[in-house]
Structure 1
Amino acid sequence: MEQQLVIFELANEFYGINISVVESIIKMQSITQLPQSPAYVKGVTNLRGSVLPVIDLRSRFALEPKEDTRQTRIIIVTMGTIKVGVTVDGVSEVLRVSDELIEPLPPMVNSVNSVFLKGIVRLENRLIILLELGKVLDLNDQQVLEALSAQKA
């Protein structure tokens, strides 16, 4: 069987998410910061008349912060029960990957903190970290973002 993945970059690594959770990919736009929100929440933005919470995957993964560039994108995804914008360094391609190319994580990588990692896609010239975006946020995080969605931008 095959999976279709959206491949994006974050801190010079390639990540893949199933295209079925992706609604759209947009250029970086104005984000309104909200006080008292978790550190990984960049804020909210107005997307086609709806308030959309935006999370910074760099911050969520405890990676070094980086200034936005012309390649920075917001991937609009369904994460659990809510629609969320996820900032990434760049989106490179949509790729069809055979299930045979997906390998499980090495045992030493599997932990409670890596529950959102599904596996590794091994291609000839690179490795792609496969994410389960619905698990990037725990239930409490999802409730925080639902509350942010209810606010006005």
Structure 2
Amino acid sequence: MGQHDTTANLAGSQQFLTFSLSGEMFGVGILTVKEIIEYGSVTEIPMVPAFICGVINLRGAVVPVIDLAARFGNTPTIPSRRTCIIILEIRHEDSCQTLGVLVDSVSAVLDIPSSEIEPPPAFGARIRADFIVGMGKVDGHFVILLDIERVLSVDEIATLASLGEHDNIDTTSVSTL
């Protein structure tokens, strides 16, 4: 089964953390979510892709923060009172990377049965089809279920991993939440 098999991932019922971003509802598998924190001061890092906001100090660890709206090619998020950072744990082969994603607001944790999950649309979505694992139907509305490992692809994870390894990042200047 070397191929990416989304149907195997959708067997039974799954829990998703849902959030709002640029007026649309998205969901990520709850198993990747470590915690949700209020938006705080993010220290900008020069010469990184535009969708990387910077880093935060999370209990002494340097955690890169991704602006999902910018990652999807939309205008960058303008932080508001409800803006949150979802702390995710992304696994790749035998390594694990902790990172944050900036979202407009967090909604709820939902159980979505596999019978209520449609395959991703072949066209018409505002984001790349390979970023979408499925479309969950909840109360007559669709929630775009993200394949977060693809959204933050191996190349981006490598870039993010190198951020945490640079000795020239002064973690004392990164604001504490």
Normalised TM-score (structure 1):
0.93
Give secondary structure in 2 for the equivalent of 1:115.
helix
2:153 maps to 1:142: no
| Structure 1 residue 67: Cα displacement | 1.5
Question: How far did 1:114 drift?
Answer: 2.4
Kindly report the root-mean-square deviation, in angstroms, between the aligned alpha carbons of the 2 structures.
1.7
**Residue 103 (structure 1) aligns with:** 118
Between stretches 19-28 and 98-107, larger displacement belongs to 98-107
AA matched with 2:87: I
Alignment of 1:1-153 (within 5 A): 1-80=12-91, 81-108=96-123, 113-151=128-166, 152=169, 153=171
Which letter maps to 2:145?
L
Structure 1, unaligned runs of 5 or more:
none
TM-fit CA distance, 1:109? 5.2
2:47 is paired with a residue whose SS is coil
- Which runs of 4 or more aligned residues in structure 1 lie more than 4 Å from their structure 2 counterparts after TM superposition? none
Indicate the residue corresponding to 2:3 in structure 1. Answer: none
1:73-100 alpha-carbon deviations (Å, 9 max, x no partner) = 0000012331100000000101111110
User: Which of the pair has more CA radius of gyration?
Assistant: 2
Gaps of 5+ in 2: 1-11, 172-177
With normalisation by structure 2, the TM-score equals: 0.81
Count of equivalent residues: 152
